Amino acid sequence: MAGVLVLAAGLVIATDRFYGHSTIAFAAAIVMLVIANAPMLRFNCPSCGKNAFFRGPFVVLWPCRVCGRCGHNLDDAAPPSQNR
């Protein structure tokens, strides 16, 4: 995610530098960030369904090792539950 963020910012800066202001570059950067963020949104606690990347209202680049809601150890290799 951090790499895609740098790539998206570089795309916007390079486009602005060589071609002038472009809303297409901003749109492409947003699409890149949404696509890169999709796998992070699917990494949930198998017990309660809370996302492991959210720390209160903030999103961080690394997942929790223990769920903040139910205390489940997320380092376990148990298969995810389909019940939420």
Tens digit of each residue's pLDDT (9 = 90 or more) over 38-52 = 888 888 888 888 888
- Domain ranges (residues) in the chain: 2-41, 44-84
- pLDDT, residue 46, reads 86
Tens digit of each residue's pLDDT (9 = 90 or more) over 4-13 = 889 999 999 9
19-47 average pLDDT score: 88
> pTM, whole model, 2 decimals?
0.58
Identify residue 76 by its one-letter amino acid code: D
